[in-house]
Structure 1
């Protein structure tokens, strides 16, 4: 990386109020021990996402789930004998893209065995996956260590059924602010969900056969054509008309009361989040790419393990064998 670009990235981090040195991460963390790590991860990610672009949304979501439960420590990648790991929790059952992280880890291990954490690889894969579909990119300071604990009971992610107060509280608990909430919600510009998560919202919102009054009636009619009353499996685009493009179209839909989830619609209930949405609509999303990049950098620092904490896994699904471990893994 050119010195000019490196300096620009460091300035960006400082503007965000994030001290790389204090947090234990560094843009050049693997410079001497695995200098090609970013190139290796990018190559693998391009191979997968260029063939299956929908993986971009899946990998971005995988990174988000990881960081929101126990921090960005790769714990979402772990498997357990008793199905009690994070990936066994209900909100995690639809996660996918693990094969991309595993392939990237395997490629890195061949070049630099025992050096690069799965947590760092997941952070890089998420960034690169979004870039492959022409979305924004962002600097990824490295040096995270892998956690050894993954518990289904600890999965407490922002719910698609949550109102604005609960969403803000959840983000604040992770050191993220209201702006990060609305900006990262913009990640719904790519990806799909399913009829099961909106069925009640469009057919029986209050138990009287009605739909959520915060939704645009024309949008509800379209959703009903897609999702029949007892349909819980059919896929539904989170950002109709723009699901394959990473852009600000999501905010246009929310502003028109066409947010798929309650958590989307409720962004209009807070002055700060509504103001951001209105600004993106008025300016065709002029600041969204940079804002998203900034918030993703902040997300990547949530409750990280550094130094002697955690470990460097050889395979992302399994911790290193140790006696008297809290959770027994395969």
Structure 2
């Protein structure tokens, strides 16, 4: 075993600390400052213009970011198209309702013109997710950049996405598997401040819920009746559903107030108030929007760091590998 003098040991420890710091600094808020200084403005303008023509774009972009990062990490694998030999993530059952891929395509086209082979599709999604939150009235945060795009995308892996029927224990474990805690779970659930769900994702709460109760007893009965009318049986309207927040075009803390009032649309929303591990966080965010904004931004940064690829590629077309 090698024996180091105190001086050499100090130098070794300093080297190790620097190495760890550098490994954590793989992503950088200023990553494109020299190579593509207009990157964020191009993405922001593209997202803003698309949102003006389609008010559903903000919610769809934010959901796309979550669904990308929760599978293989934030590597834009959700953007890859299926091939004759492989069914990609976007065609997995939880993702068939994802929309607004064209917005990312548009931003990529403009970035390739301005800064060829420079900005990854993974960074585009991450920046766009921040932009849709900010332009909807939510917080701003500096996005760490420098992700690379992955080359693998499998529909079969989408079964690991959190489902609207999950209980708190399952949700906590799902987030823990990605290095995220209970506070991150509750904060990121606030992304439902923007969004809409089709009846299929929550109608099990409205009829034949259990052998004892027809309707989920954790749901406000008046609210339940409202949803039953929107989602009748049989339901011939495939577009029928419910906004996840009564202020669905504005990013705010109203989602948590609805959960407190037993008006969470998904079972996975309402259970956050029924479990001691998450109840106090829901109450805190419902009572303090500034606190929610701060914690949401912090959790988005943490989620954006999940599964970052350093040896991937920068796709020229977000739908196919180079």
Same fold (TM over 0.5): yes
TM superposition shift of 1:272: 3.2
Equivalent residue of 2:197, what SS?
Answer: strand
Whole-Å Cα distance in 2 between the matches of residues 258 and 20 of structure 1?
45
Q: Kindly report which structure 2 residues correspond to 1:129-278, keeping only aligned pairs within 5 A, or say none.
A: 129-155=132-158, 156-206=160-210, 210-231=214-235, 233-278=238-283
- Identify unmatched segments of 5+ residues in structure 2: 1-19
Tell me whether 1:25 sits opposite 2:56 in the alignment: no
| Residues in 2 aligned to 1:310 and 1:209: alpha-carbon distance in whole angstroms | 51
**Does the 8 Å CA contact 1:214/1:257 hold for their aligned counterparts?**
yes
Segments of 5+ residues of structure 1 without an aligned counterpart are 1-17, 321-330
Structure 1 position 22, deviation (Å): 1.6
Change beyond 3 A, Cα 1:28–1:151: same
- In the superposition, relative to structure 1, how do residues 23 and 151 fare at CA in structure 2: closer, same or farther (>3 Å)? farther
- Structure 2-normalised TM-score? 0.89
Report how far residue 207 of structure 1 moved: 5.4
- How many Å separate the matches in 2 of 1:64 and 1:74? 11
Who is 2:95 aligned against?
92
Q: 1:190 to 1:249 in 2, by over 3 A?
A: same
Q: Residues 20 and 188 of structure 1: is their aligned pair in 2 closer, same or farther, counting only changes over 3 Å?
A: farther
Between the aligned partners of 2:161 and 2:224, the Cα distance in structure 1 is 26
Partner of 2:82: 80
Mapped contact 2:78–2:90 kept (Cα < 8 A): yes
CA distance in 2, matches of 1:163, 1:209: 18
Preserved CA contact (<8 Å) 1:251 1:281: yes
Q: Distance in 1 between matches of 2:68 and 2:169?
A: 22
Paired residue secondary structure (1:312): coil
TM-score, normalised to structure 1, is: 0.87
| Alpha-carbon separation, structure 2, partners of 1:238 and 1:19 | 43
Determine helix, strand or coil for the equivalent of 1:295: helix
User: Over aligned residues, Cα RMSD in angstroms?
Assistant: 1.7
CA distance in 1, matches of 2:64, 2:81: 15
State the structure with more CA Rg. Answer: 2
Rounded to whole Å, the distance in 1 between the matches of 2:76 and 2:55 is: 23
Asked whether the 8 Å contact 2:194–2:245 carries over to 1, the reply is no
Residue 43 of structure 1: aligned partner: 45
How many equivalent pairs are there? Answer: 300
